[in-house]
Structure 1
Amino acid sequence: MERSAAYAAALTGHFKHEKQGDGLRLLKTVLGLLFFCAAPSSVAQTEYPVDVELVLAIDSSASVDRDEFDLQLRGLALAFNDPDVQQAIRNGAFQAIAVTLVEWSSVDRQAINIPWRLINSAESAEAFATDLASSARVVETGATSISAAIAYSVPLFAANGFAGQRQVIDISGDGFNNSGRLMQEGREIASNARVTINGLAIQNQVLDLGGYFEENVITGPGAFVITAADYEDYIQAIRRKLLREIKAAPIS
């Protein structure tokens, strides 16, 4: 197994900082490492093992005004400052996740706002929250191309320096896909790459947007949709969503 040396080093470093008698934490780490080494992959030994690689893809289209955009950033910042979210990260086998922030609108308008970041402590989570809260908007207006946002996000996992047990795109939006390729094509891109898509439907303009996300956007094992009544409600909804996304999938 190509990754055995790298993960043995990670395991040694982890054990060194564990308190004696914390058997459950050790067991979780061992199971995570065994799962990772057994999984088929061509991952380079230099990649950092994490529980999940997460693309936070937020709506920056014309339907999202400046206050609504800022509420998305505020919700994410509050979530990464939240003790329960930080604890969920610590409860993972590797006690680490990797995240990046992406803005999207039209078929040709997507951008990385914050590059890939390792979150493996309260300090790193809070530093990420600070950067989220102070981020400037980099995509201004445009149509709503959820399919293009997915097509843009999937390749971001390929050379990000992390090796996750799961790869997830977290799509937040307040409207239907109305630009670019069909949603079925966007979902197939993610499905073929074994990337999960979860959705946060902000229903301030479209009443049953959550149902549309269920039928047309999400894909992958355990994929789910959370709805928010408006952008104020998004603040609590994104916290609930992150808790579900960070939590390890059951071992079968």
Structure 2
Amino acid sequence: MLRLVVPLLCLAQPALAECRLALALAVDVSRSIDAQDYIIQTEGLAGALEDRDVRSAIFGPEGKVALAIYYWSGDGYQDLVQPWVILDTPEALDAAIWKVRLTPRPEAPLATALGDALRYGADLMAEAPDCARKVIDVAGDGRNNEGISVARTYEREDFTGITVNGLAVGEHELDLVRYFQEELIRGPDAFVEVAPRQTDYPKAIHRKLLRELQGPMIGALDSPGPEEG
């Protein structure tokens, strides 16, 4: 009997190391994001990834997390800050955090090509490690105003099995939360997190990462509604 049980135990071990989440963080660096906003976003994202609860969620027993980070603005402008990396050690996560902190703000003031940013995200996700869940986390403070529309992008590109969540920074445009809810988010358990002002970004990205890392419905009660703030 032991010869039957031991192989079964050995076969069960790799499942513990499987990738549970491929998470692509898409960060808006368009012309509405000034130098101060950029610092708030950069430090907010870096600080959230350094947070004890977020790190605990990343290195949980459920399986590994794969991370990619890209900045986006105008049509054809995407900067891959962090290519896909399996966060299997604290050092791997720390290296990604420093890439965020060391990436300079783009000098050219460009428009908000949200549709093109989504297309890039779909292509990036096609190169992701084989993970149980695939999530594109889009942070932005405005509607698409250049290039292909969000709706057209979803018509043309393959988003099968991909969830697109949004973080709406509502300081510059009215009804941005509704726009994100109706036009941007897509897929299983998609949601919109809200930062009423740019200064609320650090807390919002922290909530959003926890909710994405911990799985569907977790953290929903902690997220502020569109009217809060």
TM category (shorter chain) comes to: 0.7 to 0.9
Deviations 1:160-179 (A, max 9, x none): 4x111111111111111111
Deviations 1:28-57 (A, max 9, x none): x4xxx8xxxxxxxxxxxxxxx411111111
Find the aligned partners of 2:47 and 2:131 in 1 and give their Cα distance: 24
Distance 1:11 1:230, change over 3 A: farther
Q: TM-score if structure 2 supplies the norm length?
A: 0.82
The alpha carbon displacement at 1:115 in A equals 1.5
Q: Residue 93 of structure 2 aligns to a residue in which SS?
A: helix
Question: How many pairs were matched up?
Answer: 209
Q: 5+ residue gaps in structure 1?
A: 1-7, 15-28, 34-48
Identify the residue that residue 146 of structure 1 maps to in structure 2: 114
Q: Residue 205 of structure 1 aligns to a residue in which SS?
A: coil
Instruction: Note if 1:107 corresponds to 2:75.
Output: yes
Identify the residue that residue 230 of structure 1 maps to in structure 2: 197
Instruction: Note if 1:156 corresponds to 2:157.
Output: no
The alpha carbon displacement at 1:11 in A equals 5.1
Identify the residue that residue 13 of structure 2 maps to in structure 1: 12
Q: Residue 142 of structure 1 aligns to a residue in which SS?
A: coil
Write the mapping of 1:1-252 to structure 2, written as runs, cut at 5 A. Answer: 12=13, 29=16, 49-91=18-60, 93-94=62-63, 96-138=64-106, 140-160=108-128, 162-189=129-156, 192-249=159-216
Distance 1:246 1:189, change over 3 A: farther
Q: Residue 148 of structure 1 aligns to a residue in which SS?
A: helix
Find the aligned partners of 1:153 and 1:58 in 2 and give their Cα distance: 11
Q: Residue 167 of structure 2 aligns to a residue in which SS?
A: strand
Q: TM-score if structure 1 supplies the norm length?
A: 0.75
The alpha carbon displacement at 1:197 in A equals 0.5
Distance 1:139 1:110, change over 3 A: farther
Of 176-185 and 208-217, the range deviating more from structure 2: 176-185
Q: What is the root-mean-square deviation in Å for CA atoms of aligned residues? A: 2.3
Q: Residue 130 of structure 2 aligns to a residue in which SS?
A: strand
Of 49-58 and 221-230, the range deviating more from structure 2: 49-58
